[in-house]
Amino acid sequence: MTQHEQEQELHIIEHLTELRKRILITLGTFLVALCAAFLYVEPLYEMLTRDVEGQLQILGPTDVIWVYFMIAGVIALAVTMPVAGFQVWRFVVPGLSTVERRASLAYIPAIGALFLLGLAFGYFVIYPMVLSFLDSLSNHFITAYTAERYFRFMVHMTVPFGVLFEMPVVIMFLTSIGILNPLRLAKMRKISYLLLTIAAVTITPPDFVSDILVIVPLFLLYEISVGLSRIVYQKRLTRLELIGE
């Protein structure tokens, strides 16, 4: 093995070691937040089921544990998102210039806020709309919700939107470090719209109105992301020109 190959191998090992460290910090944060969330899981359960008529059923002794895990898991995920974003930043920061480091670091606080905003959109807009639609189909049936399935359904209607609402900050971050730019995003518009449409149809019931109510905000979110990318890109070009001078 030549000296150059040895240096490359050591470089790869260093990257893998650093990546392992960032992953462990993120997982550790999630586990600590999960344990802390369990302290408040019962009040959260009561708050989330305040509109349910009667009590939710459980089919086995372990069902309540899974329900509490789902609730605590979503809380822990919300706490972990900005930490995960910071760890990603720490992993890529050696390859960034000083200006790019400062510019990209500014987006980290927005990660948690956008995730919570997406959860709120899913919980207050999408979730009641879809639940109402499904209830309207069950008029000829006796409905008896189990706690496990009720909260699994709620998680499926909220968490994906928390992730999708990260789109603006992710695009701004990638633009600030030179991976994306507004022209590339404009060229990707058709495929992006297709992917967002598939995501919307997947997580909503099979009716046109529900699909439109989800697709339109996602398209709007993409266009906002493109507009923000344009602003970040112009600022980046200005900084590079100043550095060049």
Which of 86-90, 100-104, 146-150 has the lowest average pLDDT?
Answer: 100-104
Residue 210 has pLDDT above 80, yes or no: no
C-alpha closest to that of 77 among 161, 14, 141:
161
Residue 6 scores a pLDDT above 80: no
pLDDT value at residue 205:
65
What pLDDT shows up at residue 245? 47
Q: Give the chain's radius of gyration (CA, Å).
A: 22
Rama region for 27: left / alpha / beta (φ>0; ψ in -120 to 50; rest): alpha
> Model-level pTM?
0.85
Dist. CA 115–CA 159, nearest whole Å: 8
**Cα(26)–Cα(46) distance, integer angstroms:** 29
- Encode pLDDT of 18-59 as tens digits: 999 999 999 999 999 999 999 999 999 999 998 887 788 888
Model pLDDT, residue 25: 96
Cα distance from N-terminal residue to C-terminal residue, the chain: 43
- Euclidean distance between CA atoms 69 and 202, whole angstroms: 24
In the predicted model, is pLDDT for residue 92 greater than 80? yes
| Alpha helical stretches, state H, the chain | 3-37, 41-48, 63-92, 98-105, 108-121, 127-137, 147-164, 167-176, 182-187, 189-203, 208-244
Q: What's the pLDDT band for 3 if we cut at 50, 70, 90?
A: low
